[in-house]
Amino acid sequence: MQLPNRRGFTGELWAAAEPIFQEIVRHPFVTGLSDGTLDQAAFRFYIIEDAYYLTEFARALSIAASKAPRDDWIVRLNRDAIGSLEAERALHESYFRDFGLSEAEIQNRQPAPTTLAYTSYLIASACSGAFSEALSAVLPCYWIYLEVGKALAAKGSPNPLYQRWIDNYASDEYEAEVRSILDIMDEVAEHASALAKKKMLERYVTTSRYEWMFWDMGYRQEAWPV
C-alpha cells in the first residue's frame, strides 16, 4: 500500500500516527468492508453513529473557523462544515433507506460511549485550543478516511453497500479537499512555536486513536455498560 509522501509538518504528523493507521487498515471492520465479510448489523450501527458524529464534526469545524486568522480559511472551514452535513448526510440517508431506518429513530438514539467521547474531545479542542490545535484535532478524520478509502479502492468490495462507502472516500474530489486542508496545516505550522507544534501533535495523535476506536466501536456495536 502506497502511503502519503508529505514533507513539512504534516509529514511529521503522519509519521507520528502511522502505527495507528496501520492498525486501522488491519481492523476487521475495515478489512470486512473490502472482502465483504463485515456483518451488515455492524455497518448499520456504524452508519447511525456516524450521523451523530458528522453533526458534531461540523460544529467543531465551525468553531475552528471562528478562530482562523485568514478570511479564506474561515470560508473554507465553514463550507466544509456545511458540506459534511449535506453531502455525507445524503450518503447516510441512502443507507437509512436501505436499512429501513426512520429519521425519528436516528434522532432519538443516544450516541455510543466512544462516539460521545470522540465528539466531546473534538468540541473541547475547538473551544479551548488555539486555531492550530483545533485544526490538528479535526485533521485525522479528513486524512485517515482518504487513505482508508484509497487502500480499499485498490481491492474493491463484493458488497455494493460497502463499495458505495469506499467510492465516496476514494474519490478525486475528496482527495483534493483533503490536500487543501493539509496545505493549510503546513502553513499554520510554519508560524507555530515549538510548544504549539507539540500541542498540535498531541491533538492529532489523540484523534487518530479515536478514529481506530470509532471503527472498533462499530464492529463491537458498543453499548453503555450500565
The whole-angstrom separation of Cα 170 and Cα 157 is 13
187 in a domain, yes or no? yes
Told to judge if 141 belongs to the known catalytic residues of this protein, a careful annotator would answer yes
84 in a domain, yes or no? yes
Q: What is the pLDDT of residue 189?
A: 97
63-66, long-range: CB < 8 A, 24+ apart: 63/123, 63/126, 63/127, 63/134, 64/126, 64/131, 64/134, 64/135, 64/138
Of the residues 56, 133, 147, 211, which is catalytic? Answer: 211
Q: Which three cell numbers stand for residue 128?
A: 479551548
- In this structure, are residues 148 and 25 in contact, taking their beta carbons and an 8 Å threshold? yes
Residue 196 maps to which CATH number? 1.20.910.10
Q: What is the pLDDT of residue 98?
A: 84
Q: What is the pLDDT of residue 107?
A: 75
123 in a domain, yes or no? yes
The whole-angstrom separation of Cα 89 and Cα 69 is 29
The whole-angstrom separation of Cα 215 and Cα 117 is 14
Told to judge if 127 belongs to the known catalytic residues of this protein, a careful annotator would answer no
Residue 59: other Cβ atoms inside 10 A? 18
Residue 195, CA distances (Å) to 90, 133, 157, 217 in order: 40, 11, 44, 33
Low-confidence ranges of the chain (pLDDT < 70): 1-3, 5, 87-89, 91-92
Of the residues 49, 141, 147, 222, which is catalytic? Answer: 141
11 in a domain, yes or no? no
Structurally, the chain folds into a number of domains equal to 1
Phi and psi dihedrals of 68, rounded to 5? -65, 135
94 in a domain, yes or no? yes
Q: What is the pLDDT of residue 2?
A: 54
Which structural domain, as residue segments, surrounds residue 67? 41-220
2 in a domain, yes or no? no
23 in a domain, yes or no? no
174 in a domain, yes or no? yes
Q: What is the pLDDT of residue 92?
A: 65
Q: What is the pLDDT of residue 96?
A: 80
